[in-house]
Amino acid sequence: MLAAHASSGGQRGPYHPEPGGLVPFAMLDDGSVLCWNPLDDNPDRWPVSVVSHDFRAVSTYPVTATAYLLRLLS
């Protein structure tokens, strides 16, 4: 992720393993990266953050990865 960021000129986000960093787990067809946002001690409650393909925007959704993926499929 950091190498892709460096080549795109986007903002540097806090990615794992930096403290409080996002944990990437998937990439969408448009190049956006799905990340867990470790805001809680319980990983089952981590919301999903989506980093845009150009690393210029991050959107956080107050749902789990399962709920987010179900929304994509419906």
Q: Report pTM.
A: 0.75
Query: The dihedral of CA 60, 62, 63, 69: what is its sign?
Result: negative
Task: Give 14-61 pLDDT, tens digit per residue.
Answer: 666 666 789 999 999 999 999 999 988 898 899 999 999 888 888 999
Per DSSP, what are the bridge partners of residue 26? 34
Distance CA 27, CA 53 (A): 9
Q: What is the pLDDT of residue 74?
A: 84
DSSP string, 9-67: T-----BTTSTT-BEEEEE-TTS-EEEE---SS-GGGPPEEEE-TTSS-EEEESS-HHH
Average pLDDT taken over every residue of the chain: 82
